[in-house]
Each structure stands twice: as structure tokens, then as C-alpha cells.
A and B are shown apart, each in its own frame.
Chain A
Amino acid sequence: MRVADSLLELHGARAGYAGPVTPAASFAVARGEVVGLAGPNGIGKSTLLKAVLGTATLFAGRIERAPEMRIGYLSQQPVRLPEVPLSGSELLATLGADRLTPPARLMEKLKERIDRLSGGEYQLLMLWATLAGEGDLILLDEPTNNLDASHIRTAIDEIAAARAQRATLVVSHDRGFLDAVCTRIVALEPVRG
């Protein structure tokens, strides 16, 4: 598959910081796809996402991004400021994520300050901000952190609803979540020997 068809391609990519920590990964993500990255803890799923972002080092292989492509990224631990007078709707406007209608359970919280939301509400807001933003490629790192079962259901629905316009790459330790939300799962295997 060429970049012309997909927004992101990894060819034998090995990423890390001081040295490589991920096995070689080869896969592509096209618009309309939700690709899950699965694998045991510590194998470097998040590191691979960061290599796509450019914040981790690529030691081998190559990563090709479609030209002019914009990336939306939800970190494994989104920045949470202990005190900031910013409402949810202002946060969405700041990111250009206010053109779409948020899920109902988020709508009722948008006027509240983001530092007064519960952990689950804040995570759902940050997930929605990433999905509804200007990104063509969406990278989600453990998007179910802090979410209870009903929030996870909402997250699955929203990721599915945003699928057609986006290419999405999801990292999660929750295989059930990946099975529910992904169109395809890529399993990272430990390097043998």
C-alpha cells in the first residue's frame, strides 16, 4: 500500500529514546479505518505513537505520513491543570473542535470549568476534543483511562462516528475495547532472541 492510499505507513519501524524499545512494525492506516495496536505491557505501543508524532526517535525503518496531513493526538495522560478558568466549550473552540455536536452527556458539562470535571468527564472531553478537532489522522493512546463502562460505551460510539472522515490509530491494553472499536488490530510481538 502506498501513502497515496493511506495517511500513515510504517515500514519496519523501530522506535525508542536512548535506544530502540519497540519491535519492527509494519502497517498502514487509511482514511475510514480504526486500527488498534495491541501487545503486552512495555512492548512500546505508546512509543510507536510518539515516533509518529516525532517525539520519540526512529532507530530503524521508516514512517511515511501523507503530505499536508494534520494529526490529532490524545496522550495516555492528558495534561490536567489543577486550576484554570477554562470551560469545556472554550477548550473545544480553542482546538477548532466546536463544529460538531458533542455527545449529550458531554454537552451538559461544557459550561463547567475543566478543572472541576471528574476524571472520567475530563477524559471524555479530551477524547472528544481530539476526535472533533482538525486532525486527519487521530492517534489515541489508552483513551479509556479513567472511563467507567458507560463512558467507554460513549467513547466507542464517538470513535465509530468519526471513522469515515478520519484515519484512527488506537493503543489500548483493553483488548475488549479494541475488538469493539477497531476495524483491524495489529499485534506487536516481542523480539525473539
Chain B
Amino acid sequence: MDSLFAVPFFAGLSLALLLPLVGNLLRLRDEWLATLGLAHLAAAGALLGVAAHLPTFVGALAGALTGAGAKQASGGRSNSAYGLMILAGWALTLLVAANTALGDALAHALIDGQLYFAGWREFAIDVIVLLAALPVLRWLAPRLLAARLFPERERANGLPAWRWHFGFDLLAATAIAAGTATFGLMASFALIFVPPWIAFRLGADWRRAQWLAAGIGVAGYGAAFWLALTLDQPFGPVLVGLLVLSFGISTLWCRPASADFLRMSRG
């Protein structure tokens, strides 16, 4: 592979592994829409950062963290809060794009998902984010699982649960900001949304669902990179299209677990 494309490939690859794992926990918390809300705020933050002569990732991170902080402060752990973020981020992104010189080009890159602009800085950031996030996710996952299934347990035992929930919010915001700055808004959303959806349907248990989600993310990313390069297509839409296709294929041989649940509830 030409070194011109090797750096963006490996920058994105680390996030293709990480974002589905973050997505599994967001799906567990029924907060998959979080990705789209935080990604929109990250895009708006990236554009504002560029207007202030800051690196793209710094602005994106500030935007996503602002969203995570506002959600925590308002106690609004719900998809309604993320709906508001989507609207605010979308409006801000397009307004900044329309009123700054560099903004218009960058807004297109963020929305189209042009991975090939990612350089050594994005590569370094993405690898650091991956290496920092993996052990944190491993530590957080059992706590978030217990909190989801036994919500009263934390309060009854005076556990410092807000730290786990806020810590995960920050981690998700950072991963989404890195994704948005590396390969755009919708590609990040697709990686955090589709592989976990398939893994939740097909995974025999939590451990295998992690492997499955990460595997789908990496395989979809690799295939999209090769296809986009070969066919001279924008990377973001190709990745999103492939992931949607993979979901469609997954429905052919497995009914959703919820069907079993409904059957048992009735019987």
C-alpha cells in the first residue's frame, strides 16, 4: 500500500476496532443515538476549532465533551437529549461552514467522510485513544452491565456510580470525536451503531459479542477502504453502505432475540 494511504488506513483501523466496542455499551444503555448526537457536536466543534486555528481533533473533542458534560449535568441520559444534540450540532456545523473560509471544505470532508485527509497527527491520536480506551472499557463493562440490570444496587450500597457513567460518557465522546475528525460523522455513527446491532442479535454471550462487533467493524472498514480506493469513491458512504448491507445479510440467517423474548412472554 502506498504510504500516502497507509497512514490514514491505520489511523482509521484503530477506531474501526474501538467504536463498535463503545457501541456495544451504548446499545446496552439504550443510548445508541448518542453517537449521532455527539458526532454532530464533534463536527460543529471541529469547524469552530478550525475557525480559531485549532487542530481538528481538539475542536471535535471539545464539541463532543461539551455534549457529554451537558447530558450529565442535566441528568438527561436519554435519546431525547441526543436528539437535541443532533439538531444543535447540525445547525452549528452548517452555519459555521457557511461563514468561514476553510469551514465549507472541512464541513464537506466531515460529512462525506474523506478518510484520506487523515495524517500522522490523527494516526497518533487514534492509536493513543485505542490503547487508553481498551483497558478502561474492560474495567467499566461489568459495572455498566450490573448498573443496567440491577439499577438500585448502586444507590443502596452508596457506590460511586456517577463516576463510571460519566467516565463512560467521556470515553464515548472522545472516541466519537476521534472518529469524526478521522473519517467523518456518518462513518463514525455507522461503526458505533451497526456492528453492535448485529452482535446483539447474533452474539452467543457478551464476550463473543465483543469479538463479533469488533470483527465486523474491522472487516467492514478494510473492505470499504479497498473499495473506495479502487473505485475512486468517497470513503464514508462506501463504509456506511457496506455496514448496512452486512446488517441486511445478518437478518437472513438469524431471527432477533426479541422474537424469542416475545414468544416466551406470551407462552
Contact = CB atoms under 8 A, between A and B. Distances in A.
Say whether A associates with B. Answer: yes
A36 B202 CA distance: 42
Given A85-B204, A85-B208, A86-B145, A53 B258 contact: no
B149 interface: yes
A115 B261 contact: yes
B148 A118 contact: no
A83 interface: yes
Contacts of B149: 78-79, 81, 91, 94
18 contacts: A52-B156, A53-B152, A72-B153, A73-B156, A79-B149, A81-B28, A81-B149, A83-B261, A84-B28, A84-B200, A85-B203, A87-B205, A90-B145, A91-B145, A95-B146, A113-B204, A115-B261, A118-B267
A183 interface: no
A113 B257 contact: yes
A148 to B, nearest CB: 13
Contacts, number: 90
Interface residues of A, number: 33
B74 interface: no
B205 A113 contact: yes
Contacts of A55: 152, 155-156
Interface in A59-87: 70-73, 75, 78-87
Contacts of A54: 155-156
* Interface of B: prevailing SS: helix
A115 B257 contact: yes
Given A54-B155, A55-B155, A85-B208, A94 B260 contact: no
B156 A81 contact: no
B162 interface: no
Given A71-B156, A83-B256, A84-B200, 14 more contacts: A54-B155, A73-B150, A79-B148, A79-B151, A81-B149, A83-B257, A85-B204, A86-B145, A90-B205, A91-B149, A94-B149, A95-B150, A115-B261, A117-B264
A128 B257 CA distance: 23
B145 to A, nearest CB: 5
A85 B142 CA distance: 13
A71 B257 contact: no
A172 B227 CA distance: 61
Contacts of A90: 145, 205-207
B221 to A, nearest CB: 22
A129 B150 CA distance: 10
